[in-house]
Structure 1
Amino acid sequence: MSDVIVIGAGIIGAACARALARDGARVTVVDRGTPATATSAHGEGNVLVSDKGPGPELDLARYASSLWPALTAELADELGPQFPSLEYERKGGLVAATTGAGAQPLLQFALDQQAAGVDARPLEIAEALELEPDLSPAITAAVHYPEDAQVQPVVAAEALLASARRLGVTVRPQTEVIEALTTHERITGVRTSTGLLSADAVVVAAGPWSGSVSERLGAPLPVRPRRGMVLVTTRMPHRIRHKVYDGDYFGATQSAEAALQTSAVVESTAAGTVLIGSSREQVGFDTRLRVEILAAIAERALRLFPSLAGSSVMRSYLGFRPYVPDHLPVIGADERQPGLWFATGHEGAGIGLAPATGEILTALVSGTAPAVDAAPFRPGRPGLRAAELESSGPVLAEETAS
């Protein structure tokens, strides 16, 4: 019998599985598809502190940021030179206001973050242009965040899974969860498309599919998909040195609106391409690319980097973020279903928060104190329930669960 079943083989599920196995648990990971090919494969690899205001998520992000350098080194040493590089780079972030009205809120946000311990450095326009020479001189304010970093998300997820396998974790792809198995009102495993699996604990880490998975397990959680689109240019000389985004990005991440919102997020990759995002909208699991959204993203990016005009776009892609109404990850034990745990709801921050989430979840499962206060992230928190009742988001059709 496995001690723990983890549902979902994206980066959150992989980080949880590895941390649980390192703590001595016997772990089985199940996924309805192929590991690391859903949400984890459709993001930008953000490891950010710059986009979070003072509070529990910022505390979690700062702790997660501190874990990434050692984790990267551990995985490289463990998996050897034949495994692809995680491309972890603490390149720093630069946030710029593109309008007069946006300047003061951006600078005040930086001051609030400074008070919470973030290294946030307001810049003169000339200083910003020294850091990013191609940045538009028409920006009205800028803040530099040296702690921001980037990682290759698919490689990171696969590396965590590879490490977990070396620790004895079993990964079962193409395995769909159907329902919970219970004994004396406690979850004791799951029925899947490939058979029954028993466990002492079941962890839902199914990203945007966690809502439908939780319903199948008898403990609904208000996790919805929030769609985003990204443009990828052809390779070009490495001119964009940091992760650069406009001051509207934070507002978009914290919005409860279901309607489309766009903001500019621009950064180079180790391969020489430039990633250009981002959009947010709640449209269920609609996988149709919309040209008008891509055009809006490109238009906003040009406000930051006019030099990108005429650049060739070689592809675009979309993905779904696991959105919850109160904008905090869900990490901890379900109060309705003993033996059921959650590690989900990170929206666009899951890549960066993965190692901290795995550590916290493992500490809670084992009954020890986590390094970061987990109370704000518990599934039964009042804010999550209240926000769900007030939410104006659409009712989603049932989707195949992870």
Structure 2
Amino acid sequence: MRIVVIGAGIVGAACALELTERGAEVVVIDRTGVAAETSSRCEGNLLVSDKEPGPEADLAIASNEMWRGLAARLDADRPSGQPGTEFEAKGGIVVAFPGGEGALEGFAAAQRDIGIRAVALDAAALRAAEPHLAPDVALAMHYPDDAQLQPSTATQALLATALRRGARLRIAEVVGGLMHDGRLRGVATDAGPIEADAVVNCAGPWSGEVAARLGARLDIRPRRGVILVTTPMPQRVFHKVYDSDYVGAVGSGNAALQTSTVVESTPGGTVLIGSSRERVGFDEHPGTGPSAAIAAKAIRLFPFLAETTLLRSYFGFRPYAPDHLPVIGADPLVDGLFHATGHEGAGIGLAPATAALISHAVLGADTDLDPGPFLPGRASLQENP
């Protein structure tokens, strides 16, 4: 079976590897290059701590487990000199300031009911875990299963492995679909047609536009996010640490600017500071407003950051689905078209489980995951304004 995967970000790369290793002939198309957009403009979060009970939490738990074996395999199999995934099972700490303790306690209790490990830290344990944290934190929950990787190099490792297994990569712009007997049989590109038995749309924030070119309708919208990067320093942040208001920002449908605090160190010594969310189309001029708001909240969490020099900031667009669930599976109207998108900021963490669901949808591969909540034809996706 020949399959075209549109998009060489981390979701497309994971799907390409999964489909290739199951015997499909895979051609990956991207208009710019591997990890050239969203997957190189994010923090590399592999989170379960921000997921409330429901389908996405179930997917995140499964995918988190998958990443542990997958990252080890990618790192072991990479040729000499090729960057690795930089996978770190560092765990996460979610904190609440005075007044927010009850909400965090209730959220963590609900997560424990579905198998997410969340452990309350007393003052001594918190100080041992994060000695530079602000002293007025009222409550902290440790999530030992949160992890992190370097998203750009992890994407490269996934796709490089797929290419070594026989997949092919073409840099091209998709301009339309190739139809035969009412079924999508490939794509037309600015570099020529590519025939296929199935097409998987992994174009991230551009998935809606790609779907339209292939004769489908898919409501995926870009949501812009800004991240700050400090100059390298001795390590003073030891987990992925964020304020509990991050959970509310993740689940919000508000188009206006929202910021919440996420702070973590990288193996290179820099500190990544996020995050912001706003729906402004593909506007590439965020200005200073998001950065200023992010910095102010980060300083409250880690006061030492007030004396730290910023190296740079960057922004990216995340694929936002109006009902806040990824879109994975067969298009309801265009036979032969499949989608794997709409993860917003969770695409890095959910990539392996998404690939398993795509393999199930396209090839009929067995899976223990429930595809139902993520299908492109679901009513909640069609009904949102």
The percentage of counterpart residues that share the same residue type is 54
User: After superposition, what is the alpha-carbon deviation per residue over 1:87-107, rounded to whole angstroms, capped at 9, x for unaligned?
Assistant: 10110000011241x211111
Q: Does 1:127 align with 2:125?
A: yes
- RMSD of aligned residue pairs (Cα, Å): 1.0
* Aligned counterpart, 1:166: 164
After superposition, where does 1:74-113 map in structure 2 within 5 Å?
A: 74-100=73-99, 102-113=100-111
Please, which runs of 5 or more residues in structure 2 have no aligned partner? none
1:214 corresponding residue in structure 2 = 211
SS at match of 1:309: helix
Does the aligned pair in 1 maintain the 2:78–2:84 contact within 8 Å? Answer: no
Distance 1:77 1:130 in 2: 33
User: Following the alignment from structure 1 to structure 2, what is the Cα–Cα distance between the partners of residues 297 and 353?
Assistant: 25
Aligned partners of 2:253 and 2:37: how far apart in 1? 23
Q: Distance in 2 between matches of 1:371 and 1:349?
A: 20
Contact 1:330-1:345 within 8 A present in 2 as well: yes
- In structure 1, the residue matched to 2:71 is 72
Q: In the alignment, residue 26 of structure 1 is paired with which amino acid?
A: E
- Alpha-carbon distance between aligned partners in 2 of 1:268 and 1:33, rounded to the nearest angstrom: 29
Whether the 8 Å CA contact 1:76–1:83 is kept in 2: the answer is: no
Residue equivalent to 2:306: 309
Residues 98 and 304, structure 1, Cα contact 8 Å, conserved in 2:
no
Q: Which residue of 2 aligns with 1:114?
A: 112
**What's the CA shift string for 1:91-141, capped at 9, x where partnerless?**
0000011241x2111110000000010001122233222211111111121
Q: Which residue of 1 aligns with 2:25?
A: 26
Equivalent residues of 1:360, 1:371 under 8 A apart: no
Q: Deviations over 1:139-187 (max 9, x none)?
A: 12111000000000000000001001001111011x1111111111110
Structure 2 equivalent of residue 297 of structure 1: 294
Q: For the residues of structure 1 that align with 2:84 and 2:332, how far apart are their CA atoms? A: 40
Query: For the Cα contact (< 8 Å) 1:243–1:265, is it kept in 2?
Result: yes
Alignment partner, residue 278 of structure 1: 275
**CA deviation after TM superposition for structure 1 residue 314, in Å:** 0.7
Contact 1:88 1:151 in 2 (8 A): yes
What is the identity, as a one-letter code, of the residue corresponding to 1:124? D
1:136 aligns with 2:120: no
- Which of 155, 167, 172 lines up with 1:157 in the alignment? 155
Q: Which one of 343, 347, 362 corresponds to residue 350 of structure 1?
A: 347
Separation of aligned partners in 1, 2:85 and 2:3: 27
Instruction: Letter of the 1:201 partner, please give it.
Output: A
Aligned equivalent of 1:381, options 374, 378, 381: 378
TM-score, structure 1 normalization: 0.94
Distance 1:65 1:344 in 2: 18
Alignment of 1:231-380 (within 5 A): 231-380=228-377
What is the letter of the counterpart of residue 42 of structure 1?
Answer: R
Alpha-carbon distance between aligned partners in 2 of 1:368 and 1:166, rounded to the nearest angstrom: 22
Kindly tell me the number of residue pairs found equivalent between the two proteins. Answer: 385
Q: What TM-score do you get using the length of structure 2 for normalisation?
A: 0.98
1:377 deviates by: 0.4
Distance in structure 1 (CA, Å) of the matches to 2:155 and 2:98: 38
Deviation at 1:350, TM superposition (A): 0.5
1:180 to 2:148 alignment: no
1:58 deviates by 0.7
SS at match of 2:16: helix
- The letter for the 1-side match of 2:16 is A
Question: Residue type matched to 2:207 in 1?
Answer: S
Bigger mean CA deviation after superposition, 150-159 or 285-294:
285-294
- The aligned residue for residue 55 of structure 2 is 56
Corresponding residue SS for 2:357:
helix
What is residue 189 of structure 2 aligned with on the other side? 192
Gaps of at least 5 residues in structure 1 are 390-402
- Provide the residue aligned with 1:399 in structure 2: none
Instruction: Give the secondary structure class of the aligned counterpart of 2:367.
Output: coil
Q: Distance in 1 between matches of 2:130 and 2:79?
A: 35
Residue by residue over 1:357-395, the C-alpha shift from the partner in whole angstroms, topping out at 9 and shown as x without a partner, is 1122112211233221111000001111112x3xxxxxx
Asked whether the 8 Å contact 1:331–1:343 carries over to 2, the reply is yes
Deviations 1:291-322 (A, max 9, x none): 12101000011111111111000100000000
Which amino acid letter does the alignment assign opposite residue 340 of structure 1? L
Counterpart Cα distance in 2 of 1:366 and 1:86: 28
2:106 partner amino acid: Q
Superimposed CA distance per residue, residues 306-343 of structure 1 (whole angstroms, 9 cap, x where no aligned partner): 11111000100000000001111111001101100000
| Whole-angstrom CA distance in 2 between matches of 1:304 and 1:229 | 18
Instruction: Indicate if the aligned counterparts of 2:84 and 2:157 stay in contact, CA closer than 8 A.
Output: no
SS of aligned partner of 1:105? helix
The letter for the 2-side match of 1:165 is L
| Native 8 Å contact 1:335 1:380 kept in 2 | yes
Does structure 2 conserve the Cα–Cα contact (< 8 Å) formed by 1:229 and 1:317?
yes
Q: What's the secondary structure of 2:333's corresponding residue? A: coil
- CA contact 1:241–1:268 (8 Å) conserved in 2: yes
Q: What SS does structure 1 have at the residue aligned with 2:307? A: coil
**1:364, 1:370 within 8 Å by CA — same for their partners in 2?**
no
